Amino acid sequence: MTARGKSIRTMLFAIAMLAVIVLLVVLSLKARSEPAIPCDIDHLDLIDGVDECMRCHGETGIIPLSEQHPINQKRCLGCHKYEGSEQ
Ligand code: HEC
Ligand code: HEC
């Protein structure tokens, strides 16, 4: 390969990397922050069992998740922290 061909490839690679970085920044700025879990009687003493959460937040629960809720609905505590706890 010629030196010229190599530098064009290097440049294309740099441009592609830049595009990826810009995309990630835009996505992270758009991300909505998740509400804290209230420290009330409904939520204290729950272990991170999705079933347990979905008893109330599932489709037939008293506070179902909204349509905008992220699709990943496992490991609730991976995203939601208890009110007042360190992030
Ligand atoms: C016994 C029913 C019940 C269970 C079980 C339950 N929740 Fe809730 N959850 C509620 C109710 C009712 C509210 C809204 C009012 C409040 O408590 O402040 C709520 C509110 C929330 C909110 C805040 C929503 C907002 O808009 O601020 C989050 C986050 C949440 N729950 C997460 C969880 C997670 C995670 C679990 C499982 C570890 C869970 N809940 C289990 C009844 C429940
Ligand atoms: C990938 C991260 C993530 C996971 C995992 C997750 N949530 Fe959420 N949750 C969010 C975000 C972000 C919002 C705010 C959504 C919005 O702005 O509409 C939210 C909002 C909520 C709300 C407020 C009502 C609503 O739907 O907007 C409740 C209640 C809730 N989540 C409960 C849960 C429960 C229960 C689980 C586990 C089954 C869970 N979440 C798993 C990120 C997550």
Tell me, what's the pLDDT at 15? 97
Please give the Cα distance from 87 to 80 (Å, whole number).
9
CB contact at 8 A, 43 and 37 = yes
39 and 69 housed in the same domain: yes
The rounded distance, in Å, linking the Cα atoms of 81 and 38 is 9
For residue 1, the model assigns a pLDDT of 61
Residue 4 reports pLDDT greater than 60: yes
Measure the CA–CA gap between 67 and 78, rounded to whole angstroms.
20
* Residues 20 and 54 grouped into a single domain: no
pTM of the model as a whole:
0.78
pLDDT for 79 equals 85
Which atom of ligand 1 is the closest one to the Cα of 47? Answer: 38
> Which residue segment(s) compose the domain that 70 sits in?
35-87
Query: Which of 43, 55, 68, 69 has most ligand 1 atoms within 8 Å of its beta carbon, as the pocket-test mutant?
Result: 43
Query: Do both 23 and 63 map to the same domain?
Result: no
pLDDT, one tens digit per residue, over 21-51 is 999 998 888 777 888 999 888 888 776 667 7
Indicate the number of domains in the chain.
2
Half-sphere exposure of 32 (CA within 13 A, CB side): 6
The pLDDT assigned to 10 comes to 95
**Same domain, yes or no, for 73 and 44?**
yes
CATH of the domain at 53: 1.10.1130
| Spatial CA neighbour of 63 closest among 79, 42, 84, 33 | 42
